[in-house]
Structure 1
């Protein structure tokens, strides 16, 4: 059956160009265009200059003879069929309920053959042994299934939309961070460029000064050497002349002459004084400020441009009784001896853990944990959601609100849905933990070698706290930033 859209399209093709309605008694004129007979007759009767000559076609303006109308019976049949199709289209819902074979209204549904039946179909032998139900009764369970499917699909669509919204926000946060980093890098390199130019000027000025000192001492050396050469030349010339004289003249004052030669003091000046030599040797020390500045610059590029170092102290109200906290709450040590700590909802009662005093609801933060497991044991490091229960055994995994690493003697594991042992080049003694709340990253790295260890991706909605767990004789950890 033709669709309503196709029927409408066909109907537009058989409209009269004069009245814009469906053609009635269509006739064709000499140029081949079709019009309603009555519309074309009235057109020819309208007074005007065209009556003096042959009338022209309303569409193409070709002249035609008024008596040359030719009935177009084929087009009339097409118009009639299109009208019938329009009627069927309007009454289609009613015809859909009519059995195509018997012309009777459909009342039943055969569940075995999944067919819609009329009364005559039901009485047919092939359906007598089948399960037959009224249409509405048969449709009811399917409607329920459809509703369940719709609920599931809508729920999944909402979840996807939530993911889409969350990821769009994450992308915007990342774009903002990249833009901020770009400006920071430009600013830091501009500062470094100014500093390098200043240091270059200072070092070149010092080298210029050393050049001047060397040239000055060279002049002094040349003057002294020239004097000594002159003195020795005079003595040599005197002795040469003495040696050429006869014996009598040679012996005259010979002893005085020899004493003067033997008691001469030869001054051996140095071209560069020890003090100037020491200045030249110490010149590399002048580059120490440059070295310190470059180190600071690299540190900024590595961390300070990315995360803000934070001061963390441990919360004694959350600490398990087997953990000994230092007075400044920056260090914890495991002890088999229980401390006298009153129980409270905030305190861990079975897992030997402790939280930081302050949590985060946004921003980018980093801190360093130094771990000492020389006597065995293990240490857990990460972040924990504030709404996670601290009583009983803890399930340390992201689904429960914990994103953490476990460091044990000889291996490191990421505590995901299933713990995963990580392959690292060396066992980290200091671990840098970095939290990006908006993006949802918890990143761990070796604080000494800067080797990446592991990164969790999460979607934070509650406050999160730096989280620490400790077990094993004399195992300990301390905090820095």
Structure 2
């Protein structure tokens, strides 16, 4: 025996679009739609604004002739069988699909007024000049918009999750560095007098504060990321749920829903604040105020708290022909005389630069550059990405994969997006360059006075190489650990 739901579904298929009741004496017109004979007759008698205008089908608006009704006996038999089934089944109802004003089934959507219409509503004067479409036809473009919004929202959510993963990795690196510094401080200060024990307490307290601040910012970061993911997940769930609705449910407040989704703004969180990062970078300098007699101890402590020494050799395959390299490949001198160097893809052809062998893809490394400049000469030191331009003009800035300082006669400049002349206590002639690949720091310090010079912050994604440039007759530099 047929269920109530299936009988209701069949009954909906044989309803008259005009009266919404079961078809009585069904007739078919030219376009193929079926109506009750009585309903269609009354429809034809309704006067229009233009008496000469041809009658149109209440559903598809195709013209038809009033005398062209054709009895549909086969459909009448189907209606009779469904009526018998309804006597033994519980008929369903779908009040949401019925016009509240006329009590008739809703078939249309007015795009001008964003209103869902029944047959009678469509014939009203207020909608005759409007763009009116069947519900499914009208829902199609909106479904496409929803799909586009879903794709964008999912991408935004994935981006937030990638940021969360990357920043959590950075946090672990920082926590590891802080833990290492703590152990080194404990070991070194254990062999000193009461004066150094007091300094030990100070430094440990600062490390504990850094540790706590990192964890606190991690908690704040996790909360912010969770809120962002929850916000986007909520929007996605809302759109997915709306997209599963039938056309009328989908179209209800559709523009308002889409506007809220399209005008969303994704906050790009950062796990570690610049201020905290600067405090971590500046930590080794806290040892500088110690007494002069402890200078050797302090130098050792600062060195162990920072980076591992790198064995740097210059790569002659990358060297510009105007640079003369020493046999041990640890010193370079500028010359206006071009060397007989074969051209190759790795060699700089315009910028008088050279790279070191090997390069780095991880870890913390440091090397020393001793600079000897003639009057008017200059030297560039830093790191570059593997794909830095070797041919033609080389723009020395982070956007081009270059993080470097320029040391010239009488001044030092940080080669950022816009070169910045630095105010230093003295002109450095020995510069210690330190690279922290995972955290993304390139730090420059005056190796003699221990005065900080500059720090670049970057996100390395490929191998980086120690980088050196030289200009001016008689100018030279040498590298060591």
Measured against the shorter chain, the TM-score band is 0.5 to 0.7
TM-score where L is the length of structure 1 = 0.56
Check conservation: 2:374, 2:472, Cα contact below 8 A. Answer: no
The question of whether the paired residues in 1 share the 8 Å contact of 2:413 and 2:421 is answered with yes
* Contact 2:332–2:478 (8 Å) recurs in 1: yes
**Residue pair 1:382, 1:403 contacting (<8 A) in 2 also:** yes
Conservation of the 8 A alpha-carbon contact between 2:366 and 2:435: yes
TM-score by length of 2: 0.56
Task: Look up the match of 2:454.
Answer: 454
Structure-2 change in CA distance of 1:431 and 1:349 (3 Å): same
Aligned 8 A contact 1:383 1:402 in 2:
yes
Query: In 1, Cα distance between the equivalents of 2:295 and 2:413?
Result: 32
Matched, 1:332 2:306: no
Counterpart check, 1:441 vs 2:441: yes
Q: Is the 8 A contact 1:192 1:297 kept in 2?
A: no
Q: Which residue is 1:379 aligned to?
A: 379
DSSP-derived class of the 2:144 partner: helix
SS of corresponding position for 1:351: coil
Q: Structure 1: give runs of 5+ residues left out of the alignment.
A: 1-90, 198-290
**Structure with max Cα Rg:** 1
Aligned residue for 2:259? none
* Deviation string, structure 1 residues 14-36 (Cα, Å, up to 9, x no partner): xxxxxxxxxxxxxxxxxxxxxxx
Contact 2:470 / 2:476 at 8 angstroms: preserved in 1?
A: yes
Once residues 116 and 378 of structure 1 are traced to their aligned partners in structure 2, the CA distance between those partners, rounded to angstroms, is 76
Mapped partners of 2:149, 2:362: distance in 1: 38
Alpha carbons 1:356, 1:465 under 8 Å: kept: yes
SS of the aligned residue for 2:342 comes to: coil
Secondary structure of the 2:191 match is helix
The answer to whether the Cα contact below 8 Å between 1:323 and 1:334 also exists between their aligned partners in 2 is yes
Matched with 1:323 is 323
Q: For residues 248-268 of structure 1, what are the alpha-carbon distances to aligned partners after superposition, in whole Å with 9 as ceiling and x for unaligned? A: xxxxxxxxxxxxxxxxxxxxx
Partner of 2:173: 173
**1:114-146 Cα shifts (integer Å, max 9, x gaps):** 222222222222222222233333333333333
Question: Structure 1 residues 292 and 358 mapped into 2: Cα distance closer, same or farther (>3 Å)?
Answer: farther
Distance change (3 Å), C-alpha of 1:136 and 1:302: same
Change (3 A) 1:380 1:160: farther
Root-mean-square deviation (Å): 3.0
With over 3 angstroms needed to count, the CA separation of the structure-2 counterparts of 1:300 and 1:394, relative to structure 1, is same
> In structure 2, what is the equivalent of residue 217 of structure 1?
none
Cα pair distance change 1:362/1:132, threshold 3 Å: same
Q: Where do residues 244-259 of structure 1 align in structure 2 (5 Å cutoff)? A: none
Q: Deviations over 1:74-125 (max 9, x none)?
A: xxxxxxxxxxxxxxxxx99944333222233333322222222222222222
Q: Deviations over 1:307-335 (max 9, x none)?
A: 11223111111111111112222222222
2:478 is equivalent to residue 478 of structure 1:
yes
What is the rounded CA distance, in whole Å, between the counterparts of 2:109 and 2:376 in structure 1?
A: 74
Separation of aligned partners in 1, 2:175 and 2:191 = 24
**Distance in 2 between residues matched to 1:104 and 1:408, nearest whole Å:** 87
In structure 2, how many angstroms separate the alpha carbons of the residues matched to 1:108 and 1:389?
62
| Secondary structure, aligned partner of 1:167 | helix
Secondary structure of the residue that 1:349 maps to in structure 2? coil
Question: 1:368 matched to which residue of 2?
Answer: 368
Alpha-carbon distance, 1:479 to partner: 1.6
Q: Over residues 424-465 of structure 1, what are the superposed CA-to-partner deviations in whole Å (9 max), with x where a residue is unaligned?
A: 344433222111112221112222232222222222232211
Distance 1:308 1:128 in 2: 81
Distance 2:378 2:148 in 1: 49
Distance 1:157 1:393 in 2: 39
Query: 2:432, 2:445 within 8 Å by CA — same for their partners in 1?
Result: yes
Q: Could you give the per-residue CA deviations for residues 208-238 of structure 1, whole angstroms, max 9, x where no partner exists?
A: xxxxxxxxxxxxxxxxxxxxxxxxxxxxxxx
Deviation at 1:188, TM superposition (A): 1.1
Task: Indicate the residue corresponding to 1:282 in structure 2.
Answer: none
2:469 aligns with 469
**CA distance change for structure 1 residues 104 and 472 in 2, over 3 Å: closer, same or farther?**
farther
Kindly tell me: are residues 106 and 188 of structure 1, through their superposed partners in 2, closer, same or farther at Cα, counting changes over 3 Å?
same
Q: Distance in 1 between matches of 2:332 and 2:354?
A: 9
Is the contact between residue 368 and residue 480 of structure 1 (CA under 8 Å) also seen in structure 2? Answer: yes
Partner of 1:403: 403
CA distance in 2, matches of 1:443, 1:464: 14
